Every structure is written in structure tokens, then in C-alpha cells.
Amino acid sequence: MKLSTTFQKITWLVLFLAITIVTYGQKFTGLTATASSGTATAAVDGNQGTRWESEHGVDPQWIIADLGELKTVGALKIYWEGANAKDYSISFSANGTDFTGELFYTGKAAGARTDVVDNLNVNCRYIKINGTARNLTYGYSIWAFEIYPPVVPVLTSLTLTPATSSVVLGNSQQLTVGGLDQIGNVIALTNTTSWSVDGTGASVDANGLFSSTAKGLFTVTATNSDLTKTATVDVLPSNANLSIGSTATASSGVAGAAIDNNGGTRWESAASDPQWIMVDLGAKKYISDIVITWEAANSKDYIIEVSDNATDWTNLVTKTAMAAGARTDRMYDLNVEAQYVRLTGTARNLTYGHSIWEFKIFGTNTLSTVARYPQASDLVSVYPNPVRENLNLSAKVKEATLLSLDGKELIKMNNISTFNVSTIKAGLYILRLENQDGNIQSQKINIQ
């Protein structure tokens, strides 16, 4: 009999440990739910892509989660959609009829948010959320309603702030790491954090202070107790953003929205190709870098040209097969001098137009002593334009290259004064000329 009793104790201990290993720190699963309106089960199905939404414009509205049996509840997490409760209460019941222990919350913030209620230690089967005032005119909407047992806080994840930041080259950025428990509450870190950063020229010290001797986008990683968290730091050029205060024109759309230093406004062209946007810096200036923040409706292929007179253009950058989706294109150390910068999009990733949040041109008002482009008197004249067969050049050039608008080389000839284009189909092209002194000029050619 004693042996049997001992065996039973061991069996219950093993069972308890097994249950503890499975449920320790984990939310209760297998919940069901009812509500005053809407599909209540969508809030407890374990899928944060589905949601319970109550009837619109009606107060109060409620949802009740059923644990299936009496359980001890330690914490709740409510993932609200933008249509959330400004005022609501939470109460508990053993039988689904008599609710007690009501907790009241008022003046809660608008917008998507997560509410955490912990340190409950309540024995119940049913938990009711009762919304009494809404932040929006719609109903009450919950992505997920999670219920947890009482647990000892355990470090479960890290925070790293700021998650995204930008600094000017030569400056530093302080990053701060923190810990969260399984409910999402702050928990102190007891171990030392190790830091690392990708890329060349960047470093981060033992206290999370980031610095870099190079421009670019860097990823900083903090590691503590085998957990990791990353943040990105955008190191911007040290020169000023010349686009601010400049003027912009475009083939279509509101060009000025791309240079207003406001990341919430954008230039969007007509939904056709090609489309262009041109920035007039007001005078010839030194251009060191260009950074373009695209909306999802971006250019797959594009070129950037510069000019002193908005007539004769030099091809500066050619981009092809660029990624779809919102992105930032960074072009560093261009080191050119010009008054006008023109971007021409020749192919789109979506069916909409070419769309830019911010077109930043970095540089200075100080010019170098060495001329980068030929003066007007040194330019080679090209005629006729439009042309059907032979382009005549007013002087022999060292190299002549015919390019498509997306920058693809079609014909290259050396030491010529006549350029035959009879084999090229009709359309707009770019003719790039390099004279005997190494000066470069470009202009659009209309082949008929």
C-alpha cells in the first residue's frame, strides 16, 4: 500500500511537471466566445489576422470569452484594431451569468493599441469585455483577446530603441536595450548585452553608442540571454539638402511635393512611361549625394541626368530592375556640379504612376576650381534633330554613344563627326558625347 501511494505521488509529480512545461508562461488555448453582435470567435481563434467587430454606432457592446472550465487567470492582453474602446470594463464569472470584480478603463487612446491587464490572480471561467464608448464611429473591434495563467515573469523578448533613426555623418546615435516578459511587461536585464553592427565604417560600443565614418543604412543587433533585437540607423550625408527651397517641375503631377521636406506628401506622375521630375537648384551647385524615398508605386527603371542650362543633359545615374515595394535609393559620392537634376522613369513596378515621397539632393553652394562640364561655348552642336539618318556634329568627338532612355547602350563610335542612326527604330534616345578634352555632354535625340 505504501509503495502504491509513493507511486501515485511520483505519477502526479511527473504529470504536474509536464503540464507546467507545456503551459508555463503560455496563453490559454481552446477558448470559445460569444458577443452582443459580430463574430466573437474571431477574437479567440489564435489568428491575429481575423477580428471581432461589433455592430456599428451602438453602445454598449460586449464580448465574453469562455475558458471551458474554472481556471486561475493572471493576465489579459487585448489587441484592439483602430476602431477600439475609449471606455470599457472587464468583469469575471464562474457561471456566465453573475459577473463580479469589475475593472473600469476610461479615456483610452485612439488608434490600434494593445491593452495589458496583469496581476489578476482571479479564479473564473468567463471573462467579459464591455465597451461603453468608442473612439471611432464604427463598432468595437478586437484582433485578439488573450488570457494567461499566473506566471513568474521571465525574460522573453528584447526592445531596442529607437527602432529606426537617422544621423548626419560624423554624429552618433545612442541605442537603448530593454527586456519584456511573456506578457509584454518591462523586466530588468540581469545579463550583459553584446552589440554588433553590419557594414563597413560603422561601430557600436559596449553601451550601445553607434557611430560611423561612412554613409549608408546600417543594422545594429543587441544580444542578451540568447535573445536578439535589431534596429536600423540611416547615416545621412553631412552636406545640406539642396532640394529644400528649390523649385521642381514634372511631366505630370505635383512636383513640389517631392522636395518639401515632408515625408507625408508625394509626387505622383500620370500612369504612363516615360515620366520625369526636374529640380532647379537656382544656380550651379556642387552635388555630392542623392537619396530618393519611393512610395510602393515606384520606378523599376530610371535615369538621373544633370545640366547647367536645362537643355544639354549629362547622364549621371542609370538604374534598372529595381525592387518593387516602398524603398529608398541611396546614391553617394556623385561629386558633380550642375543647376538642374532630372529623374526620368522609363518603367514602373505597378500600374500606377511613378511616386516619390522625398527627392533629396545633398551638396554645397561652393564649386570646385575644375569645371566638370563644358561651357556653352565648348558644346558640340548636333543637327538635325529630329533626325532620320545622319546626325552631324559641329566638331569631331572622342566618343559618341547612343543610349535608350533607360540607359542601355545601343551604338558607340569613336573619333567621328557624323553619327548614322538609320538602323534605330523611331523614338526618343540620349546621345552622349565626350570631346577631345574629356568634357561630357548629353542631349535627347528624336529619331523619326
- Over residues 184-206, the mean pLDDT reads 94
User: Could you give the 3-state DSSP secondary structure of residue 338?
Assistant: strand
Name 436's Cβ contacts closer than 8 Å, sequence gap at least 6: 396, 397, 398
Rounded CA-CA distance 287/333 in Å is: 8
DSSP assignment letter at 2:
H
Looking at residue 210, its pLDDT comes to 98
The pLDDT of residue 12 is 39
pLDDT at 441 > cutoff 90: no
Amino acid 368: pLDDT = 64
Identify the weakest region by mean pLDDT among 84-93, 206-215, 381-390: 381-390
User: Mean pLDDT, the chain, as a whole number?
Assistant: 90
Q: Are 359 and 425 in contact (CB under 8 A)?
A: no
Confidence class for position 17, pLDDT limits 50, 70, 90: very low
Burial tier of 381 (Cβ tally within 10 Å: 0-12, 13-18, 19+): exposed
pLDDT given at position 185? 87
Residue 305's pLDDT is what? 96
Report which DSSP code applies to 387: B
Between 61 and 199, the more confident residue is 61
The owner of cell 526620368 is 344
pTM of the full structure: 0.65
Going from the C-alpha of 336 to that of each of 209, 281, 290, 368, 420, the distances in angstroms are 34, 13, 11, 9, 31
Contact 361, 241 (CB under 8 A): yes
**CA-based nearest residue to 339, from 364, 309, 366, 314:** 309
- pLDDT at residue 15, rounded to an integer: 38
Q: What is the CA radius of gyration of the chain?
A: 32
Q: Which position has the higher pLDDT, 237 or 372?
A: 237
Tell me how far apart the alpha carbons of residues 345 and 128 are, in angstroms, rounded to a whole number: 55
Banded pLDDT at 379 (limits 50, 70, 90): confident
pLDDT at position 2 over 70: no
Q: List alpha helices for 142-252, DSSP H.
A: none
Bridge partners, residue 240, by sequence: 363
- What mean pLDDT do residues 353-381 have? 76
Q: Report how far apart, in Å, the C-alpha atoms of 173 and of each of 163, 168, 194, 223, 322 are.
A: 11, 10, 17, 18, 30
CB atoms within 10 A of CB 135: 18
For residue 26, what pLDDT is reported? 80
Which residue intervals of 277-380 are DSSP H helices? none
Q: Residue 161 corresponds to which cell in the numbers above?
A: 530603441
How does residue 152 score in pLDDT terms, banded at 50, 70 and 90?
A: confident
Residues of the chain with pLDDT > 70, as a percent, come to: 92
Cα separation values, 210 from 167, 176, 202, 203, 229, Å:
10, 11, 7, 6, 15
Where do we find the cell 477558448?
31
DSSP three-state, residue 40: helix
- Let me know: does 194 contact 223? Beta carbons within 8 Å: yes
Least confident of 11-20, 78-87, 179-188: 11-20
409 pLDDT band, cuts 50/70/90, is confident
Q: What is the pLDDT of residue 363?
A: 96
- Cα 361 from Cα 244, distance rounded (Å): 9
pLDDT greater than 80 at residue 4: no
Q: To which H or E segment does residue 420 belong?
A: strand 409-420
- Alpha carbon distance 393, 413 (integer Å): 13
The residue type of 142 is I
272 vs 401, more confident: 272
- 267 contacts 277 by C-beta, under 8 angstroms: yes
What's the one-letter identity of residue 247?
Answer: T
Is the per-residue pLDDT at 1 higher than 80?
no
Query: HSE of 89 in the Cβ direction (CA atoms, 13 Å)?
Result: 11
pLDDT, one tens digit per residue, over 120-131 is: 999 999 999 999
Give the integer Cα–Cα distance in Å for 218 and 229: 14
Q: Residue 103's pLDDT is what?
A: 97
Q: Are strands 299-307 and 336-348 parallel, antiparallel or unpaired?
A: antiparallel
CA dihedral (20, 25, 29, 34) positive or negative? positive
Residue pair 101/92 in contact by the 8 Å Cβ criterion: yes
When pLDDT is cut at 50, 70 and 90, the band that residue 442 belongs to is confident
Instruction: Please give the pLDDT value at position 20.
Output: 35
pLDDT for position 129:
98
Cβ pair 219, 198 in contact under 8 A: yes
Extract the C-alpha cell encoding 380: 558640340
Which of 146-160, 325-339, 357-371 is least confident?
Answer: 357-371
pLDDT recorded at residue 276: 97
Euclidean distance between CA atoms 210 and 176, whole angstroms:
11
Amino acid identity for residue 261 in this structure: N
